[in-house]
Amino acid sequence: MHPAPSVILFSTLSGMGLGLLAFLGAGLAVATGWTAFLWWGLGYALAVGGLAASTFHLGNPQRALLAFTQWRTSWLSREAWAAVAALLVLAPTALSDLFDLGLPRAVGQVGAVLALLTVFTTSMIYTQIRAVPRWHHWTTPVLFLSFAITGGAMLSGQGWAWVCLIALAPLLILAWRIGDGQFAKAGQTLGTATGLDRVGEVQVFEQAHTAGNYLLREMIFVVGRKHARKLRQIAVGLVAVLPALIMALAPLGPVSVAIAAALHLGGALAQRWLFFAEAEHVVGLYYGKRGS
């Protein structure tokens, strides 16, 4: 799949932001005054910024409100509802923290659940796509939620955040391992895509058009195997190992958290880039294009 910057930014930033909001909302990090302002501000900025980024890849963003209509079937629609609900429900808690209004935590905890639910709905947008076998797996929501929780824990300065961070490493590796086998497991080949497996072994002779098209740009992205391996190593290092070291060993404070978070974010972007770039859509079969 085409690793579009808008979608990568959207899913990483909003995931992190919603994670942070969840922690704040749940009361796992409570602050007041300026600290609260910065924390909540950061959470909202990341979440809203991410969501805003996602509109950049819309062909007709002016109609975005219509995206609320199909919550019965569409995970994207559900995400829209969940995001708005989370952001709205968390707002009183944010204000309460900011101005020390003493709103009961329960409200914030509902918001926290909604925030994580939003992340879950985001992940389901990908997970539901059977045509992309790598995504169509429980590892996708688990990863998205883990990222959100880890990001939240880290940004909210939890002392134990390094545990989450370090746990991300095996999870990532596991997801990649499983993901690497998913396409084959789905069993789709050029033979099944064309049904010509009943005649013999199928190869592409001529692509439909010699010119490019939307499908080739959007759905068919080929990453070199070597390239991918290196990027995975970098991603694990940045997402998990380095920030975990910092969070565990350096004295906890805004500076160390900021450095760790920046590294983590960099890794998350790389991971998310791979999440798209390595995901093969079965339509690639028609073009004889299998990734890596």
Partner 1 sequence: MNAPLLNTSPPVSDEVRKTTCYMCACRCGINVHMREGRVSYIEGNRDHPVNKGVLCAKGASGIMQINAPSRLTQPLRRVGPRGSGAFEPISWDEALALAVSWMKPLRETAPEKLAFFTGRDQSQSFTGWWAQAFGTPNYAAHGGFCSVNMAAGGIYTIGGAFWEFGQPDWERTKLFVMFGVAEDHDSNPIKIGLGKLKARGARVIGVNPIRTGYNAIADDWLGITPGTDGLLILSLIHCLLGAGKVDLDYLAQFTNAPLLVNETEGPEKGLILKNAESQPFVIDRRTGQPAPWDGKGVQPDLGATYQGHRTVFQHMAERYLSPDYAPEAVAGRCGIPAARIHALAAELADVAFGQAIELDQPWTDFRGNSHATMPGRPVSFHAMRGISAHSNGFQTARALHVLQIILGTVETPGGYRLKPPYPKPVEAHPTPHFVSAPGKPLSGPHLGYVRGPEQLALKEDGSPARIDKAFTWENPFSAHGLMHMLIPNAHAGDPYRIDTLFLYMANMAWNSSMNTTKVMAMLTDKGPDGEYIIPRIIYSDAYASEMVAYADLILPDTTYMERHDCISLLDRPISEPDAAGDSIRWPVTEPDRDVRGFQSVLLDLGARLGLAPMVKEDGSPKFKDYADYIQNHIRRPGVGPLIGFRGADGSLTGRGAANPEQIAAYIANGGFFQAHVPAEAAFYKPWNAAYQDWAVKTSFYETPQPYLFNIWSEPMRKFQLAAEGHGTIQPPDHVRARLKQAMDPLPIWYPPFGDTEASGWGYPIHALTQRPMDMYHSWGSQNAWLRQIRGKNYLYLPTKIWAEHGFKDGDFARVISPSGAITAPVAHMAALNENTIWTWNAIGKRKGAWALDEGAPEAVEGFLLNHLISELLPEKGDGMRWSNSDPVTGQAAWFDLRVRIENVGPKPQSEPSFAPVPPIVPKGGKR
Partner 2 sequence: MTQLPTSTAKQLGLVVDLDTCVGCQACVTACKGWNDQGGGLSDQQPYGADPSGTFLNRVHSYQVQPPDGAAQIINFPRSCLHCADAPCVTVCPTGASYKRAEDGIVLVNESACIGCGLCAWACPYGAREMDAEQGVMKKCTLCVDRIYNENLPEEDREPACVRTCPTGARHFGDFADPESKVSRLTRERGGFDLMPDLKTRPTNKYLPPRKKDVRQDASLLAPLLDIQATGFAGWLDKVLGKI
Q: Which residues bind partner 1 (CB under 8 A)?
A: 66, 69-70, 203, 205, 208-211
Based on the shown chain and the rule CB under 8 A, indicate whether residue 84 belongs to the binding site for partner 2: no
What secondary structure letter does DSSP report for 67?
G
User: Are 101 and 144 spatial neighbours (Cβ–Cβ below 8 Å)?
Assistant: no
Interface with partner 2 in residues 246-285 (CB under 8 A): 281-283
Place of tokens 């596991």: 174
Out of partner 1, partner 2, none, which partner does residue 262 contact, by CB within 5 to 8 A per kind? none
Per the CB < 8 A criterion, the answer to whether 148 and 48 are in contact is no
Nearest approach in angstroms of CB 161 to partner 2 is 33
Residue 193: how many other CB atoms lie within 10 Å = 16
- Of the candidate spans 35-43, 162-170, 192-200, 242-250, the one that interacts with partner 2 by CB under 8 A turns out to be 192-200
* Of the residues 96, 139, 188, 271, which one makes contact with partner 2 according to CB under 8 A: 188
> Are residues 146 and 119 in contact, defined by beta-carbon separation less than 8 angstroms?
no
Tell me the closest approach of the beta carbon of residue 234 to partner 2, in angstroms.
27
Binding of partner 2 by 128 (CB under 8 A)? yes
Q: How far apart are CA 214 and CA 241, in angstroms?
A: 38
Q: Which two tokens stand for residue 215?
A: 């499908």
Which of 20, 98, 190, 242 forms a contact with partner 2 (CB under 8 A)?
A: 190
Q: How many residues does the chain have?
A: 292
Using the minimum distance from each CB to partner 1, give the nearer residue, 66 or 184: 66
Q: Closest approach of Cβ 209 to partner 1, in Å?
A: 5
Residue 215 CA: distances (Å) to CA of 2, 96, 284, 285 = 10, 48, 8, 12
CA atoms of 247 and 228, how far apart (whole Å): 27
Which one of residues 11, 77, 118, 156 is an interface residue with partner 2 (CB under 8 A)?
77
DSSP character for 241? Answer: I
Residues of this chain that interact with partner 2 (CB under 8 A) are: 1, 57-61, 63-64, 66-70, 72-77, 80, 125, 128-132, 186-188, 190, 192-196, 198-209, 211-215, 218-219, 281-283, 286
